[in-house]
Structure 1
Amino acid sequence: MTRKSRRLILICVCGGVLVLAVGLILTAMSGSIVFFRSPSDVAAQGVGPGVRFRLGGLIEAGSVRRGPDQTVDFTVTDTNATVPVHYKGLLPDLFREGQGVVAEGRLEPGGLFRADTVLAKHDESYMPREVADALKAQGRWQEGGGKAAPDTKTVPQAATTTDKTLGPRSER
């Protein structure tokens, strides 16, 4: 066997091992990839039962019903479609009607979304990016917590001040 043919065999074996490793990594990751969907996406795409995904939108007013053993039923909406959600566990402190929410879980055959994780917004200016993008696409969300942005022509310019008591560095 010549030196050239040994080198070619080594390169082919290393390439095969690399392809196998990449294939195994992609196969392992496919089970952990979770896609985001809004209620309109769920209705339009006809997501099959048992598919794991993240459902995001706003908690519909008047839809939160608390049951025994820390169970909660509520409805997630993006103002075009709604999806009923069932969750068992502790909810975030800021979970309330009209707020943004992202729930991760599976859709059941009857259309009920069974969540195993619920995330709520954490302050007045936060909305999960996917939820905000879905609401912006429908024209239902504006930056700044849904309030109209201030008109830049009417905002007064900040006055600039200098501290004259310290003076330049060389005088200190």
Structure 2
Amino acid sequence: MRAIKSDVAVPAATAAGAARPASAGRTSNPLGEAVMTIDSAAALDPAVTNPEHYHVVFENERVRVLEYTDKPGDRTTRHAHPDSVLVVLSSFRRRMYAADDSSHDLELTAGKVGWLAAQQHAGYNIGDTDSHALFIELKEGARTETGVLGPIGPAVQ
């Protein structure tokens, strides 16, 4: 079996203190920052909002596994992910749009694995290759948005 590395890191999507639009399903943390609740995430299920790109390939009471595919130029509408593990199956470039419409470009390499904190976003394949990834969504634990788009986490050797 081939070792999979996890050294993908993505900076915060918005500057510290940047205002976020208020919306249903949002609340504030002790610092007054807007956070996404699990109720709003359920209304923005990517398998429902973007069924041409997200397919449920496994689900039980603890996790749900989504397979994601798209082609260069494809876009997704706004959707939400709970805390997840992202497994990158093909290398691709993507522009991520945060809830406040700020954007961040990232490049993901096949074989990388990273943590994806709960978040809402929309995406755009800005590269010249198809995207292929698995999202292993957790159904328990922390369920608030951190403001970080894309996978984060330490390297695993």
TM-score range, shorter chain: under 0.3
TM value normalised by structure 1: 0.25
The structure whose Rg is larger is: 1
TM value normalised by structure 2: 0.26
Between the two structures, name the one with larger relative contact order (CA 8 Å, sep ≥ 6).
2
Identify the structure with the greater strand proportion: 2
Identify the structure with the greater helix proportion: 1
